[in-house]
Chains A and B, each alone.
Chain A
Amino acid sequence: MENKNPLSPHIQIYSWHISSLVSIGHRITGVINIFILTLIFLWLGSLLLGEKNYEIIFNFFNSFLGKFFIIATIWSFTFHSLSELRHLFWDMGYGFDLKTANLTGSLVIIFSIIFTVLIYLIGRIVI
């Protein structure tokens, strides 16, 4: 017999912790990264087709939207990498203490932002 009783509220009422935020962030950036990588390779491939394509891409990256895209990409990759590093330590059995886990979670968020700024600025200087 099917249970017709109501389901108690879950994600609607549950408060967020740093650990759950970083966890869902890890998944979302992971999916985004796959799309971005595909896009980058498509662009690289399109360069083979001639000079015109290069100009289109060049203009895009110099536009406001293009810069937003670059910064978002850098953040997505740094966040995912740092969070993955945290996961690797967990897999070895370290960092499960609640205080440690909250600290490393905050560090992932803070350093993903710092690294994004640094990588973007270094990139501007070099290129």
Chain B
Amino acid sequence: MVQISLPQNSKIQKGKYYKDKTGSKNLRKVNIYRWDPSTGENPRVDTYEVDMDNCPSKVLDLLNKIKNEIDPSIAYRRSCAHGVCGSCAMNMDGKNGLACTKPHAEIKGDINIYPLPHLKVLKDLIGDLSTLYKQYESVEPWLKNTSNKSDKENIQSKEDRAKLDGLYECIMCACCSTSCPSYWWNGDKYLGPAVLLQAYRWIIDSRDEDRKERLKKVADELKLYRCHTIMNCTNACPKGLNPAKAIASIKKMLATS
């Protein structure tokens, strides 16, 4: 259901203000969403003054600096720091992206950092993605091929392999799904751009023999057709992929088959 306002327990309160202690002249204000499960209080937004003269270029560097030098209690996911693992997906300056690939110089004014939108928050910038992972499991993201009994490689032509370009690069960071208003309102039923792109990645694979079944399974008013081509997903994808196009390709396959 469409619920525009946040529930009572999610309303954001004014947080703490951490004044700069370094005496730097080059300061930026960073507003970060905080929620501590142990206190039972509502979420708040804390503001940090950060010395930008000694801060590397990406938003993740900024968060690391705050965690190391100002406030060690802040929680966020991160791992590879090179845009490969997808752990540090969050909402920066109103847009979803990876903190490790987003330069803070691209953000004008104060830097606002929130968790990925419309998720149950586990702590601070960490959202609960378990629904998305369950949906991912439901599209059975593995190769299904029973006829190829040889123990050699499963050969694919160059053209067929090229069909997977723009799909296989997906790192499942959930930037797209959590940017999608349809997924916000119907996230329990609508599969969302990330999972549908993955579904299409297996539908279009020439080695897979389960195409018909896969298409049948996904052809559902709620699972697939809640996509209204709002294109927030494609705008958000930090890998430059196009989930909206992948979803449209599934729709087209269903309409023409």
**Which residues of A are interface residues toward B (Cβ below 8 A)?**
3-15, 17, 19-20, 23-24, 27, 87, 90-93, 96-98, 101
Contacts and interface: CB of A to CB of B under 8 A. Distances in A.
Contact of B7 (A7, A14, A96, A101): A7
A86 to B, nearest CB: 9
Interface residues of B, number: 45
Contacts of B242: 96-98
Contacts of A20: 181, 230-232
Nearest to B234: A98
A7 B10 contact: yes
A80 B231 CA distance: 18
Interface string B109-130: 0001011111111100001100
A9 B6 contact: yes
Contacts of A98: 231, 234-235, 242
Contacts of A6: 6-7, 9-10, 35, 42-43, 120-121
Interface of B: 4, 6-7, 9-10, 12, 33, 35, 37, 42-43, 91, 93-95, 112, 114-122, 127-128, 179, 181, 184, 228-232, 234-235, 242, 244-245, 248-249, 251-252, 255
B249 A8 contact: no
A96 B94 contact: no
12 contacts: A6-B42, A8-B91, A9-B6, A13-B91, A14-B91, A14-B117, A15-B93, A20-B231, A91-B252, A92-B252, A97-B242, A101-B244
